[in-house]
């Protein structure tokens, strides 16, 4: 019910002193924290079992306390140390995977096009597919549902769609925008979304890493200097693709941009 | 959390293979269970053990949906495992 498991181990004499107990523990911990989804592993060990306590500590277990007269052994009640390790503390591979998942860099991908078969949206889909380990790309699909920006409707009780959009931006470690060019600028829907961010009380977009993609061979640089730059600070890596860019080159560029986002705080 | 399925648990590490302990392992368990230095901290073994008691213990753990009793085998030559040469482990979810 609590996703806990109690662990015990017996090591035969010939196996001692060779690190096999630690290796078996590592395998068990990987399995428990991985396949079984255990949250916490715990065990009781006699307070006199210094070697055992040392092995468990080496594997990341920490002492929770002493259980007084807990265990009856050969007619005597013996004290035991209660030790445990949590999945998020575990130094084994399973825990590292869990930690990477927990601390993955989250990128909010916004397509400036509402078209069902938009190439810009497809480009963001490719970014999601090509994202390296530790980077999670999530496509924002509410652009068309945002109301027209009106400062009178903003404030503590912003429209629900706006509040949702702002929370998604706020939760993201970076924003990836792929937008077509309409009449030498960004589409009105995207500009409208950015206007809502400018009006946000918590400045959701200010200072947040933003990268600009564009599927058009002509429009990228116009977009770069267009209306969006007023709402977000575009770092040097903000980019558009030239007409010479092949699909493969675009893919490599996406990976390069996303790879630079592996570590929170890095500009890309 | 859904009930665990323990029958097919198989864990491999660089030197070890772990799989559920079965009644056929009784003789291997007895090899180390009669070593008082190994079992001195376990009350289960304090009065001595025999094959029937070990078999009953394994059977009880197999029947329990909350217990997983694993045997640990040390590999020999990198790929094959030699049963009963190493340690025994149990977890209780």
pLDDT tens for A198-213 read 766 667 777 777 777 7
**Would you call B9 an interface residue with chain A, using a CB distance cutoff of 8 Å?**
yes
Average pLDDT over residues A164-168: 87
B43 vs A4, A12, A72: nearest CB: A72
Task: Categorize the per-residue pLDDT at A231 as very low, low, confident or very high, splitting at 50, 70 and 90.
Answer: very low
Residue A197 to residue A207: CA distance in whole angstroms? 12
pLDDT at A58: 81
3-state secondary structure of B92: strand
User: Is a pLDDT exceeding 50 seen at residue B85?
Assistant: no
Residues in A closer than 8 angstroms to B85, CB to CB, are 14-15
Per-residue pLDDT at A69 exceeds 90? yes
- Nearest CB among B1, B41, B89 relative to A24 is that of B89
What pLDDT was estimated at residue A124? 87
Higher per-residue pLDDT: A89 or B2: A89
Per-residue pLDDT tens digits for B10-60: 888 888 889 888 889 999 889 888 888 888 888 888 878 899 998 998 898
**3-state secondary structure (DSSP) of residue B47:** coil
pLDDT above 90: percentage of residues in chain A: 18
Q: For residue A240, what pLDDT is reported?
A: 38
CA distance A123 to A111: 9
Tell me which chain B residues have a C-beta less than 8 angstroms from the C-beta of A26.
13
Chain B's closest residue to A31, CA to CA, is: B11
- A interface with B, Cβ–Cβ < 8 A, is 1, 3-15, 20-21, 23-24, 26-28, 30-32, 36-38, 41, 46, 49, 52, 71-74
What is the pLDDT, as a whole number, of residue A267? 31
pLDDT in tens, A115-150: 988 888 888 888 888 777 667 788 999 999 999 998
In three-state secondary structure terms, A256 is helix
CB A131 within 8 A of CB A258: yes
Q: What is the pLDDT, as a whole number, of residue A29?
A: 87
Determine, for residues A32 and B91 on separate chains, whether the beta-carbon distance falls below 8 Å: yes
Say whether B85 and A14 touch across the interface (CB within 8 A): yes
Higher pLDDT, A260 or B53: B53
What is the ipTM, given to two decimal places? 0.81
Answer whether A62's CB lies under 8 Å from A55's CB. no
Q: Looking at mean pLDDT, say which of A63-67, A224-228, B59-63 comes out highest.
A: A63-67
Q: For residue A38, what pLDDT band results from cuts at 50, 70 and 90?
A: confident
Which chain B residue's Cα is nearest to A93?
B13
């Amino acid at each position: 019910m609590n996703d806990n498991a109690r662990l015990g181990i017996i090591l035969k004499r010939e196996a001692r002193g060779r690190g096999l107990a630690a290796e078996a523990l590592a395998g068990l911990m990987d399995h428990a924290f991985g396949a079984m989804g255990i949250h916490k592993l715990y065990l009781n060990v006699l307070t006199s079992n210094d070697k055992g306590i040392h092995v468990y500590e080496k594997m990341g277990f920490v002492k929770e306390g002493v259980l007084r007269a807990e265990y009856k052994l050969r007619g005597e009640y013996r004290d035991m140390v209660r030790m445990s390790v949590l999945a998020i503390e575990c130094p084994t591979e399973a825990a590292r995977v869990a930690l990477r998942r927990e601390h993955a860099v989250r990128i909010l991908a916004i397509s400036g096009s509402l078209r069902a078969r938009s190439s810009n949206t497809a480009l963001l889909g490719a970014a999601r597919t090509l994202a390296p380990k530790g980077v999670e790309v999530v496509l924002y699909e509410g652009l068309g549902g945002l109301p027209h920006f009106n400062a009178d409707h903003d404030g503590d009780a912003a429209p629900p769609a706006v509040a949702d959009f702002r929370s998604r931006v706020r939760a993201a470690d970076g924003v990836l925008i792929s937008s077509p060019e309409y009449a030498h600028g960004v589409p009105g829907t995207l500009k409208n979304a950015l206007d809502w961010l400018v009006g946000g009380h918590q400045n959701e977009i200010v200072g947040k890493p933003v990268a600009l993609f564009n599927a058009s061979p002509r429009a990228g640089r116009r977009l770069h200097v267009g209306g969006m730059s007023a709402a977000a600070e575009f770092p040097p890596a903000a980019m558009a693709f030239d007409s010479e860019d092949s699909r493969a080159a675009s893919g490599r560029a996406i990976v390069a941009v996303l790879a630079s986002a592996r570590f929170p705080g890095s500009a890309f | 959390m859904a009930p665990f399925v323990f029958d097919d648990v198989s864990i491999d590490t660089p030197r070890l293979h772990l799989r559920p302990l079965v009644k056929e392992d009784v003789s291997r368990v007895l090899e180390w269970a009669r070593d008082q230095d190994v079992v001195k901290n376990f009350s289960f073994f304090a009065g001595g053990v025999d094959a029937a008691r070990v078999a009953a213990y394994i059977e009880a753990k197999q029947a329990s949906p909350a217990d997983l009793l694993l045997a640990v085998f040390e590999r020999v030559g990198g790929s094959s495992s030699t049963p009963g040469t190493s340690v025994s482990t149990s977890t209780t979810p």
